[in-house]
Amino acid sequence: MLSRLQELRKEEETLLRVKAALHDQLTRLRALGQMDNEAAINQTELHLSLQGREEEEEEEEEESDS
């Protein structure tokens, strides 16, 4: 009975270590996902900024042609 209890405690320790490792990995993956999201947001902002400049240039050309 005592050896079974010791065995279960070792198994519990192992499972707790695995749980901690998985939690750490999940945290790292979430951070990477946030960085990917930030990069996508920055890329979208850049695209919109460039698009706005192009539209302004087109409007200026139309005004100068008139």
Write down the domain spans for the chain. Answer: 1-55
Mean pLDDT calculated for residue range 13-31: 93
- pLDDT band at 17, cuts 50/70/90? very high
DSSP state of 40: H
Q: How many CB atoms lie within 10 A of CB 43?
A: 10
pTM: 0.53
Mean pLDDT of the chain: 86
**Stronger pLDDT, 44 or 27, i.e. the higher one:** 27
